[in-house]
Structure 1
Amino acid sequence: MAYIVIMISLITPAKAQTQLAEHLRSRRLAVGLTQVGLAARSGVSLATLRKFERTGIASIEVLLKLLAVVGGLDEVIEAARPAETEFSSIDEVIKGGIRPKRKTGWRS
């Protein structure tokens, strides 16, 4: 019997956008940058940065440019790394014949 692991997130994409914007703003303030300073250092227009901090809407490129300046780019890249799997194909699953570990306990 093979087990399939499904990753389910309880956060909506809209909520994730809002949280990303809040976290990035907090990082900006923590490193002592103004919106003007971050826009200049990252190459992102001031209007785009303001819109992102207000709405959470931005392209991946913009988000990555901002994270490169305030920190967090490496963590985002690492978070996107695929999880290692025990099997590389369905044939390995069938051949492997992994059985669930037997539970042991007291007998009455």
Structure 2
Amino acid sequence: MYSVNKTPNSVLQEISNKIRAIRKTYKYSQEELAKRSGVSLGSLKRFESTGKISLESLLRLMHVFGRLEEFDNILLPQKDMSEIEKLFSDDL
């Protein structure tokens, strides 16, 4: 199935690719990152190949890289757009 929009699987794979690139930038082997993060080596290998990982393990990996705060900006409350939408409606 092809889509212009992202899919859950494509996002998982993007995150996995980014974590792998960060790991390589730090020159960590998979074994070293597993030890530093407390994530099992098997889970890390599966993540890098399939993108599948628990949220807790992903957070542990991000913590090792000092990038845990990047999660602060996800799932923020949406702004109420109703007032702005009224400006463009024909119901004036």
Q: Same fold (TM over 0.5)?
A: yes
Structure 2 alignment gaps of length 5 or more? none
Match of 1:27 among 14, 22, 26: 22
Residue 100 of structure 1 is matched in structure 2 by: 87
Structure 1 alignment gaps of length 5 or more? 1-8, 87-92, 102-108
Is 1:38 matched up with 2:25?
no
Is 1:72 matched up with 2:67?
yes
The code of the aligned residue for 2:35 comes to A
Distance 2:75 2:31 in 1: 29
- The alpha carbon displacement at 1:99 in A equals 4.3
| Count of aligned positions | 84
Residue 89 of structure 1 is matched in structure 2 by: none
Counterpart mapping for 1:54-73 below 5 A: 54-73=49-68
The alignment's TM-score, normalised by the length of structure 1, stands at: 0.67
Distance 1:21 1:31 in 2: 15
Higher helix share: 2
The code of the aligned residue for 2:44 comes to L
Deviations 1:50-107 (A, max 9, x none): 0000100011111111111124321123223223436xxxxxx7xx7x8417xxxxxx
Greater relative CO, 1 or 2 (CA 8 Å, sep 6+): 1
Match of 2:80 among 76, 85, 93: 85
* Same amino acid, percent of matched pairs: 33
Is 1:48 matched up with 2:43?
yes
**Bigger Rg over Cα:** 1
Deviations 1:8-46 (A, max 9, x none): x91000100111100000111112211111100100001
The code of the aligned residue for 2:87 comes to P
